A = this chain, B = another copy of it.
Amino acid sequence: MKQKTLEPGMLYDGSQIKPMWAFQELGVKGSSIVTWIGPMDIEAEELIDYEDVGLEITSAEMVHFIIEHFDVQPADMRLCYHRQRILVMIVKDLLGEMGIKCLRKGDDLYVGSGKLSVSIASCSISSMKIHFALNLTSKGTPADVETTGLTECTPGVVREDIPTLAEKICAMYIGEISDIEQDIAKTRVF
């Protein structure tokens, strides 16, 4: 599984959740986790979460993660959402260690009553995709939702530390998935 960090600034408009985005746009072939800092403004036609239909999904600055898995054929939404949960729990854990106590509800993280993250999963028959992103600030988020950002928490994350944090998250996620594969190979079955 490959890891790639992009230059800051790319807008997350929802097109990045499409299967094969990393290969077509970045030349990254095979399973991967890509991270970058940039705004979010999801176009209606790119919506994946039918519960979000009609909602504004925006943020001025987030740290994004796009994951694609080709290891399971055919792709499986159930496994994909399990992996998404594992990712979110890894992030919650890591923030906790940095002193930022989050509350997790499903695939959402909150700090106090402020929503910190967005996430969705999807798949085609040949790959599983996950998008997860954390607000850096609450700037540019929808007016009707109480939000917060990593740099606004107490203690907040210094903006300069985000790239390191992002890569640590990637490494921990990759490690976890690889670790699970190792466990299968040591286990007696019935």
- Is A187 part of the binding interface, using a Cβ–Cβ cutoff of 8 Å? yes
A112 to chain B, nearest CB (A): 15
Q: Could you tell me the distance between the alpha carbons of A77 and B181 in the complex, rounded to whole angstroms?
A: 9
Q: Could you tell me the distance between the alpha carbons of A184 and B75 in the complex, rounded to whole angstroms?
A: 12
Contact size range, A: 35 or more
Nearest to A127 among chain B residues (CB) is: B185
Q: Could you tell me the distance between the alpha carbons of A79 and B76 in the complex, rounded to whole angstroms?
A: 10
A185 to chain B, nearest CB (A): 5
Q: Could you tell me the distance between the alpha carbons of A77 and B125 in the complex, rounded to whole angstroms?
A: 8
Known A-B contacts A86-B85, A106-B183; A122 and B189 likewise in contact (beta carbons under 8 Å): yes
Select the stretch in A4-12, A66-74, A146-154, A155-163 that faces chain B: A66-74
Beta-carbon contacts under 8 Å, A169-190 to B: 176, 179-190
Nearest to A177 among chain B residues (CB) is: B82
Known A-B contacts A74-B75, A79-B79, A180-B78; A123 and B185 likewise in contact (beta carbons under 8 Å): no
